[in-house]
Amino acid sequence: ISSSLKGYDLPHEGVFPAFLFATLNYMIILFCNLTIIFTIVLNKSLHQPMHLFLVNLPINDLIGSSALFPHLIKEILTNSRRIQYSACIIQAFLIHIYAAGSVFILTAMAYDRYIAICYPLRYNTVMTNAHIMKIIILVWSSCVVLIAVLFILLLRLYRCRSEITHSYCDNPSLLTLVCEDTTINNIYGLFISATTQVIANGLVFYTYLRILIACFRSRQSDTKAKALQTCATHLFVFLLFECLGLFTIISYRLQNVSPHLRRFMGVSTLIFPPTLNPIIYGLKTKEIREKVLNFFKNKRVLCE
């Protein structure tokens, strides 16, 4: 059984540019995120709390982008909007894991910066490898459990429609295919969205407020500048994802929102953060930037 996605109405002359853009974008995402992952994993000097949290972000970005781009590229090439229902469920599940993972990972990274800047003398005592692993396991297990329940509730319902009004599969669009009462699904979906947003936003804004206060109290100008730069980077990434994600969630509840704008914002959530995150963190994090540059310099020397 297959479903039909709304997709994008591309003119014949727009197929190749769209294919080229999607393919190049996906290749950039794969290259940049894998570079960050291998740089951190293969360099023992980077096995520090901040980097151990950071490595989860490109892994999560690869999950989200790989859920979207292969099917999007296939859709552009074949001009087919059909997708197997099982493939649609897998795509939706991975996209929701990516969305929840982004919020939880960025929150964990904010907590790490909070301890590092506000309690520097206690940092190594608090952020032990065991403590870091507990947080990382909690992040991923929370994502899997919350999203698994969401889809268990979805799969129990009978479907009588096949056309999805979105450009990719997700829980709200899959619910439009159902002919039974979806009240429980809607309540649970709104509950986990509201709960995660309140907890994550509350923790992030509280930690960064405390960090800002600590920075302005500090008499060391270089320490203050470095801390502010790191926090500004983290906060920019978090706010970018939150704005795109919240608009997508709210747009499903508003009937007068343009479907084209809804589709664009939804896809943007899966394109911009995975593209920008490794570039921002790779350029802004001195240790990672130096290791990456040294690696490519050594490769160049070997080739010569």
**DSSP symbols for 63-107:** HHHHHHHHHHHHHHHH---EEEHHHHHHHHHHHHHHHHHHHHHHH
**Paired sense of beta strands 163-164 and 2-5, if any:** parallel
Residues 116-144 pLDDT 10s: 888 888 988 999 889 999 999 999 999 99
Q: What does the mean pLDDT of the chain come to?
A: 83
The better pLDDT of the pair 205, 6 is held by 205
Residues 75-119 pLDDT 10s: 888 877 777 888 889 999 999 999 999 999 989 988 998 898 888
Closest by CA position to 15, among listed 64, 77, 71? 77
Which CATH architecture is the domain 14-293 placed in? Up-down Bundle (1.20)
Q: What is the average per-residue pLDDT within 15-26? A: 88
DSSP per position, 238-296? HHHHHHHHHHHHHHHH-TTS-HHHHHHHHHHHHHHHHHHHHHHHHHH-HHHHHHHHHHH
User: What residue ranges do the domains of the chain occupy?
Assistant: 14-293
Instruction: Provide the pLDDT for residue 301.
Output: 55
Instruction: Provide the pLDDT for residue 141.
Output: 96
Q: Look up residue 218 and give its amino acid.
A: S
Instruction: Provide the pLDDT for residue 59.
Output: 95
Distance CA 6, CA 168 (A): 8
Do the Cβ atoms of 57 and 105 come closer than 8 Å?
yes
Query: What is the pTM for the complete model shown?
Result: 0.88
Range of lowest pLDDT (190-194, 196-200, 215-219) = 215-219
Three-state DSSP class for 163?
Answer: strand
Range of lowest pLDDT (35-44, 122-131, 227-236) = 227-236
User: Per-residue confidence at 7, pLDDT binned at 50, 70, 90?
Assistant: low
The better pLDDT of the pair 78, 166 is held by 78
Instruction: Provide the pLDDT for residue 292.
Output: 82
Distance CA 126, CA 139 (A): 18
Closest by CA position to 234, among listed 192, 280, 191? 280
